[in-house]
Structure 1
C-alpha cells in the first residue's frame, strides 16, 4: 500500500504546516465575531447554509433541482456534505435512483444496471472522462467469462465524490458508450469548495459474517482544501483507506450439463414440453467457505490556477488500490463421470443424481479443495483541464488525461488450488427438489477405517488422496488516453438560440489480457500426513455436508511438492490485445422560447464517431488433447508462440433532440429522442480459437472471438411529466423505449480443430475406460473430437420499454421526508427456457423499487432505505455449460443510518450505519426453478463512525 502511505504522509505534512491550527484559528475569529442575532452573523449563517450545511434534505433538494433544470431526462445524487455520501458504497447510493439497479459481490455493491441494461451497456465517466476498467474473473478458462468494460464501484470510496449525474437521454456533448445510461462521477475541486476546508472521518466496520479476521476493521478518510496567493491558486488533497474482514459462505452448482441419458431414467419427461428428450445433469454440488481480507485505498490531488477571470487550469491525479486476499475451502461432489444415475422430472432435469466412488478403480466422487486467492486492481489517472474565456460570448476548454486500470499487476497469481480427493467407497445422492438448498444423502459405510480411533467416514482425513494442484491467473491492463476539445458560443444579442456547443475528441482505448494456466496432476494413495494439515469443521449448510475439511492450499502444496509436480507440458499462457482508436466530433444547439406563454427549451445536436479496431492474440497453439482423468481433458501446447491479428473499422452518426415544456409553473413535460451505442464486450473480440471446458465423453467446448463486431446501436425515446409542487418535493412519471440493432448473439457451430502437429485434435480414450492411464495424449489414429465452438456475430434486434414512477416529498416543518420510486421494464425478446438454441438474451432486465424514509433535525439524522429488484437474467452462459442461463432471484435489502451532530452547526457528527440488516441471502437458478445454481449467505454489516469538518 505504498500509495496509501504517500497520501497519508502528505496529509501529515499538511497538518504540520499549520492547516489545522489555521482552522482552529478561524473558530477563534468566529468567537470574536458580532453577537448572535446581529445582521452580520445572520448573513454569515445564510451564506453557510447555502454553501456548507449538510444533510439528507439538502442532498435530495439539490438533486431534485438538477433534475428540474436539465432539458433531457437526468437523475442525480449529491453528497450530503463534503466527504459524506448517502451510502458507504457509491453503487449502493446510485441504486436509489429510478431505473438503476446493482449487482452485488460478497454482499457489497459492485456494478450498475440501468433500465434493464446490464453493466456492459452503461458507460461510467469521471469528471467527463472515459475511464478504464480491469477485473479478475473467477472462471474455469480464458474463454468462459465475459471481459466487461463495466466499472467496478466497489473500488471507489464515496468520500471525495461531490455528486453523480445519470444521463438517461442522449446528448451530443456526452461521451458515448452507454445505451442504458452514461454515469458521470464528479469529484471535489478547490475553487468549488471556496474557503479553507478540512474534513476527516474515522469509523469501525463490523461485518457479522466474519469468522477468522478482526471483528472491527478501520476506515479513515480526509480532505484538505485551500485557496492561496490572493485567490489565484487552489489545492486539494483527499485520501481514504478501509479494511473489511468477512466470510462468504455459499452452496453452488457450476452448471447444468446437457448430457445423454445412458444411466438416467427419463421416463417422466413430458415430450410436449421437451420434444427432444434433452437431459440436464448438474456438473457438481459444492459448499464453499471463503475468508476475505479486503483493503481499499483511494487518493486524489487537485491543483487549480486562476490568474485572471478568463483562464483556469486544473491538474489532477487520482489513484486507487483494491486488494482482496481470500482463503477458500470447498467440499464438492462431481457428477458427470463415471456414469451417474438418477431420474428426471417432466422438464428433463435430473432431480436425484447419484454418484458412487469405486475402490476397485481408484475413482472417487467427493473432493476437498483449498484455494489461496488474491484479487488486486490498481487504478491511476492524471489529467489536465484548461478553460479559456476568449470573449464574453466564447469559451474553449481542452481536457487531456491518461488513465490506467490493471488487474493482477506484476503477475500476481489470482487463483491457486489444491484438491484432496475424499476416501473411496462413498455414495452420494442429491435431492434437487426446488427448495432453497439441495439436500444430500451420503452413504460412507463402505469407507475403510484407516485409523480405529476415527469413523472411517467421508471426512476421515486419513483417507484423503492428494490429487491436483492448479494455478490460474487472468491479468488485465486497460489504458485510456483521451484528448477532448469543447467550445461554447453564447448568443448575447437575444433570440431563441441561446448557445451553440461544439467539440472534438480523440480516444485511444487499449486493453491487454493474459491468461496463465498451470496444472499439476498426480493421483496418490491415501496419505498418512494429510491428517496433520487439515481441520474438521462444521459447515454453514449441514443439510448438504454436515462437516468439511479446511486446509491451506499453499501448505499442502509445499508438503507434497515432490509428489504433486507441475506438468509443464500442460502449462498454457496466452496474451490478447484489443485496441480501439476513436475520433469524434459534435455540434449541439440550445434553444429557449415561449409557446403560448409556456417556457420551452430544446437541446439538439449530432455526433459523429469513427473507430478503428485491432484484435491481436499471441498464444501457444494446442498440439493434442491429454487425458487426465474420467472427468478431465486438457490441451498439450506447442513450445512456439503464434500471433494472430485482425482489424476492422466502423463509423456512426448519433443525432439527439431533447425538449422540455413548462405547462404551468413547476409542471414540466419532456420529450427526448437520441441514438446511442455500446461497444461489444472484450472477450468476444479476441481473434484466436480457445479451448474451454473439455471432458471425456463431452461436452467439448471452444470459442473464437470476432474483432469485426459492430457496436450495439440503439434508438431511444423518453417522454415524461414532472410536477415540482414544493421545495425539494416532486412527482414524476417517465415512459421510455429503446430499439437496439446489431445485437451481438452467440452462435455454436460444430467442427474440428487442427492442432499444431498437423492432425485434428482427438480423444485418446473414446471408450471412456476408467482404468485408462493419466497424462496420455491423443494421436492421429484416435477418434476425432467434434467441438462445440462458440462464436459471435451481429444481426439481431431487440426492443425494451418501461415506466419509471418517482415521488419525493418533504413534510414541511416536521423533519420528515421520503422517496418512493418504481421501475417496470419489459422487452420483446424474453428468454425462452424451452428453446435450446436461443441466440438473443437481454441480460439485466428486471423491475425494481426503492423506498427511503428519513427524519432530520438540526442534530438528529435518521434514514431507512429499502431496495428491491425482481428476478433477472444475469448471463446466458453458465460457468461449465455454454448456452445455459443464470437467473438471479428477486432480492430485497434494508439499510439504516443514524447520525447525531455533536456541534450545533454540524461540524462533528457521530453515526451508525447498518447494511442488509435482515441478512437477506442471494439465490440463483438455471433454466428451471429446480436447476439450483447458488444460495449465498449475506450477513448484516454495521459501521460506527465520527466525521468532523473545520
Structure 2
C-alpha cells in the first residue's frame, strides 16, 4: 500500500514522525512500554490527527513517504474516501471525483484555487500522485476556505523544502502494463531537497519532477436510439429498433510531464518568505476508431425476435418520438411497439471512422508570500498567478461499404450486445467509399488567474481562543475558440471510392477490435498518422474541396469571460470545559462579491449575434461548528455552512454551437450555454460520532444538503433555419435535496500473535439519497450522477517491511444523461427518459517490500476483475453502452538517499 488509507484512522498520535525522518520498516514494534509506529501506520496516524482535530468534516490521504501515495493517480486515491465516487475516462484513467455524488468541487493547491483551461474544475489526472504529500477532502465548510464548491473542497498539498530535516534524494520508477493495449509504459520521478544555514537565515530548496507515458486501448459498444420499425417495413413493423449499432475504440498513448519547486527562507525567527512553482502538462496522440452498422439503411430485416416488452409509443412519420412542437401540432400517431432483441439485417450500410486526435495541455503556477508568527498574532500573505492552456486537434474521415448481413442479439444475461457480420467485410480494405464527409475541429481554450490572499489569526486568553480574519481578491479570465468544418464527399456519400483520392497503399490500418462485434476481430480504418500529417491533411482537403490549410477559428464559436471576485471573512474559534468534557468549534461568516462579463455569439431568429452579458452576485456565507470531546477517544461534532458554486464559463456562454450531420442516421446536434444561470447554493448540515483507539478508528456521520439552483443539462429538439437539431443546454432545476449516512472504520489486529499482528481491515459505506424538488420536469428523480450506495472494503498487511493492500470499490446505479428531449421512441406514459449506468465495482491490489532501508520494490494491479461501464435507457431491456475498462499492472521501485 505504501501510504495512508484515504480514510483517516488513528494509530498512536504521538508516534507520527516528521516526513524527513520516516523509518523504512512499515511495522509497529515494541520499545519498552512504548509502541513506535512507523511507515504506513505513521501516515494513518497523521491522517487521523487531521480528521480528529479539524473544524470541518474532513478526510485526508497522507503519503507515507516521498512517492508513496496509495494509488497511482490522485483521482484513483480519492475513490477510497468515504462518500467519494469517480468515473473512468476514455483513456482508462479514473477522473471526475464526486463528493457524495456532487461534482461541484473547488480544487485548491496548497490553499490556492487551481483549474484547467476555461473550466471551474481541475483535471486531477494532470497532477501525478508522486508530486503530492497529502490531500484533504473537506466535506463541510468554514469561512477561511475559498468559496466555490457546493459539494466540498479538495486541497492538494505538494512537498516543501522545510518538510525535510536532512538532504534527501529520492527516485522511483515503474513499468505499467495495460491489458487491453498489451503494451508497457514507463513512469519515473525524482526529488531533491536540501536546507542551509546562511548569514541571513536558513534557506531550503526542493525540486520534484515526474514523467510517464501510458499506452491505452478502451473499446466500447453502443446500441443507438430506438426508432419505430415501420420505416423498414416487413418484419420490422411494430418493433422498436436501434437506428444503428456499433462501437468505438479509443487507443494510443498519453504522457504527463510535471515539475514543481519550493523555496523557503526563514528571514527572521518570526518571518518566513517562500516561493512555489508548478508546471504540469498533458500530451495525447490517439485515435477514436468508430465501427457502425446502420440498421435502418438495410434492404430488409428477417428472423426478428422480441422479449415481449411492448408499449404504446408516440411515433412521427420518420419513426421517432415527436418533439414538443410535433406534440402540440398532433403530428404523430400512437403505435404498439415491442422491443427488438434479435434479427438479421440484410444488405446493410456500414462505415468505419477514424477520429485522429492530438491533444495538449500546459498549466503553470507561480506563487510567493510571507508568513509572520508573532506568538498570538499570525499572518500569511500569498500572491499567485496561474495560466492553463488546452489545444485540441481532431481530423475525421469516414469510409463505408455495404455488408450482406448483420446479425444482432440484444438479449443475454450480461446485458450487452452481440453483433456478427459473417465474413467481417469491414476487416478488409477493398471496396470502401467515402461517406459522411471530412470533418475538422480545432479548439484552443485558456484561463488565467491572479489572486492575492491574506489570512490572519489572533489568540486570546478567553473562551474565544482565536479570532481569524482575512480576504481575497481574484481576477479570472478565460478565452475559448473553436472551428468545426464538415464537408460532404465529392459525388455524395458512398459514391466515390477511397482509392480515387490518391491515398497511399497503407492508408487503411487495423484498429483494435471490440469484444461485442465479430468476437473482437480487427476492423479497417484510415490511418491516424496519415490524417495527422501535413501531407495527408493537404491531400484530403483538396480532394473534398475544403479550404486549403488549417481553418481559422470561427468567430461564432468563441466566448470570452472576465470575472473579478472580492471576499472577506471573520471567524471565531471557541473552547471551554463542560465538566470532564470539552466543547470547541468555530463560528464565522464569509462575504463574497462576483462581477462577471461574458461575451459569445448567439443565434437570434437564425442570425448569429454577438451577445455580452454582465452579472454581479453578492453572497453571505455563514458557518458554525461544535465538537464535544467526551474523553477516551470518543467525540461528536455538528457543522452548518452555506456554500456556493458558480456556473462554469462554458455553461454561461450565450453562444450556440451546432452542426449539420453528414451521417443521415444521426440527428444534427449542438450545444448552447445559458447566461441566465444562477449560482448554486446549499445549506449544508453534518453530524458525526467518532471513536479512536490505539490501532483503529470507527465513525458514523449523517449529512443533509438543501440545494437551490442545481444545474443540469438537457437535450431538446430545436429548429434553426428550418433544420431540426438536438441541442444540449444547461438550466437551473430550482431545489434539490441530498441526504445520507457515512460509516467508516479500520483496525489492525495487534492482539494476534507474531506476524499475524500485521493484518488489518478497513471499509466505508455511504448512502446518498437525493431528490429534485419543485415543479421541474425531473421532480422526484435523483440528482444526475448520484449513486445511492457506495462502499470500499479492504484487507491490509503491514509488518517486517511488507506493505500490502487489496481493496474492492463499488457504486450502485445512477443516471448520467437526460435524453428526454431526444428522438428515442419510447412508452408514451414515460415523459422522462434517462440513461442509467448499471452497478459496478473494481478490485485493486498493491504490494511493497523494503529490501533495505533505502530501497523498496512494488507490484500493483488496478481493476483486476475487468469492471465495465454498462448502461440502459429507462427500462432495463433498452440496453445502450458497454465500455470495457482496462486492467493496469505495474512493477517498480523506490529509492531514497
Name the TM-score class by shorter chain. 0.7 to 0.9
Aligned-partner Cα distance in 2 for 1:742–1:902: 56
* 1:703-725 Cα distance to aligned partner (Å, 9 max, x none): 5422232111000111111111x
Q: Does 1:217 align with 2:185?
A: yes
Output the aligned Cα RMSD. 3.7
Q: Distance in 2 between matches of 1:571 and 1:226?
A: 49
Distance (whole Å) between structure 2 residues aligned to residue 70 and residue 908 of structure 1? 35
SS at match of 2:75: helix
**Cα deviation code 1:39-78 (max 9, x no counterpart):** xxx99xx99x78xx5x222222221121111233111110
1:470 and 2:462 matched? no
Q: Give the C-alpha shift of residue 416 in structure 1.
A: 1.4
Select 1:911's aligned residue among 848, 858, 867: 858
Deviation at 1:791, TM superposition (A): 4.6
Length-normalised TM-score, structure 1 = 0.78
**Residue matched to 2:310:** 346
Superposition deviation, residue 429 in structure 1: 5.1
Q: Is the 8 A contact 1:132 1:480 kept in 2?
A: no
Please state whether the residue corresponding to 2:262 is helix, strand or coil: strand
What is the distance in 2 between the residues matched to 1:110 and 1:167? 18
Unaligned runs of 5+ in 1: 1-25, 31-41, 135-146, 270-278, 359-363, 444-454, 625-637, 754-760, 763-784
TM-fit CA distance, 1:907: 2.0
Structure 2 partner of 1:139: none
When residues 606 and 355 of structure 1 are mapped into structure 2, their CA distance, relative to the original with a 3 A threshold, is farther
Partner of 2:808: 866
Q: Which residue of 1 aligns with 2:792?
A: 850
Q: CA deviation at 1:374?
A: 1.7
The structure-2 alpha-carbon separation of the partners of 1:743 and 1:535, relative to structure 1 and needing over 3 Å to count, comes to: closer
TM-score norm. by structure 2 comes to: 0.82
Q: Which residue of 2 aligns with 1:189?
A: 160
Shift of 1:702: 5.1
1:548 to 495, 519, 523: 523
Kept in 1, the 8 Å contact 2:771–2:782? The answer is: no
Distance (whole Å) between structure 2 residues aligned to residue 838 and residue 340 of structure 1: 42
Deviation per residue, 1:682-739 (Å, 9 max, x gap): 3321112332566879956555422232111000111111111x22411100000100
Question: Mean Cα displacement is larger for which, 703-712 or 260-269?
Answer: 260-269
Corresponding position: 1:417 with 2:396: yes
Q: How does 1:732-881 map to 2 (within 5 A)?
A: 732-745=699-712, 752-753=719-720, 761-762=721-722, 785=723, 791-794=729-732, 796-812=734-750, 814-829=757-772, 841-876=783-818
Q: CA deviation at 1:837?
A: 9.9
Contact kept, 8 Å, 2:248 with 2:289, in 1: the verdict is yes
Q: Distance in 2 between matches of 1:946 and 1:418?
A: 43
Pairing 1:355-374 to 2, within 5 Å after superposition:
365-374=349-358
1:340-361 deviation line (CA, Å, top 9, x unaligned): 9789842567535879787xxx
Q: Once structures 1 and 2 are overlaid, which stretch shifts more, 121-130 or 882-891?
A: 882-891
Of 108-117 and 559-568, more deviation after overlay is shown by 559-568
SS of alignment partner, residue 928 of structure 1: coil
Q: Deviations over 1:824-857 (max 9, x none)?
A: 1111239999x79999843233321112221112
Q: Is the 1:353–1:431 Cα contact (8 Å) retained in structure 2?
A: yes
Aligned counterpart in structure 2 of residue 601 of structure 1, from 584, 587, 601: 584
Question: Which among 298, 304, 314 is matched to residue 264 of structure 2?
Answer: 304
**Which among 668, 671, 678 is matched to residue 635 of structure 2?**
668
1:89 equivalent to 2:73? Answer yes
Out of 549-558 and 709-718, give the one that drifted further.
549-558
Find the aligned partners of 1:826 and 1:709 in 2 and give their Cα distance.
25
Aligned residues: 806
From 146, 149, 157, the equivalent of 1:178 is: 149
Judge conservation of contact 1:111–1:150 (CA < 8 Å) in 2: no
Q: Given that residues 771 and 781 in structure 2 are in contact (C-alpha distance below 8 angstroms), is that contact kept between their aligned partners in structure 1? A: no
**Aligned with 1:116 (options 79, 92, 101):** 101
Cα distance change, pair 340–684 in 1 and its aligned pair in 2 (3 A): farther
Question: Which residue, 363, 368, 377 being the options, matches 1:379?
Answer: 363
Supply the distance in 1 between the matched residues of 2:498 and 2:269 (Cα, whole angstroms): 79
CA-CA distance at 1:912 after TM superposition: 1.1
Match of 2:287 in 1: 327
Secondary structure at the counterpart of residue 232 of structure 1: strand
**Structure 2: how far apart are the matches of 1:740 and 1:508?**
27
Q: For residue 508 of structure 2, what is the aligned residue in structure 1?
A: 534
Q: 1:87 touches 1:93 (CA, 8 Å); kept in 2?
A: yes
Deviations 1:756-815 (A, max 9, x none): xxxxx13xxxxxxxxxxxxxxxxxxxxxx4666655443510101010000111222611
Corresponding position of 2:454: 485
1:244 pairs with 2:214: yes
* Equivalences for residues 16-35 of structure 1 within 5 A: none
Distance in 2 between residues matched to 1:320 and 1:855, nearest whole Å:
34
Q: Which residue of 1 aligns with 2:174?
A: 203
Task: Give the SS at the match of 1:461.
Answer: coil
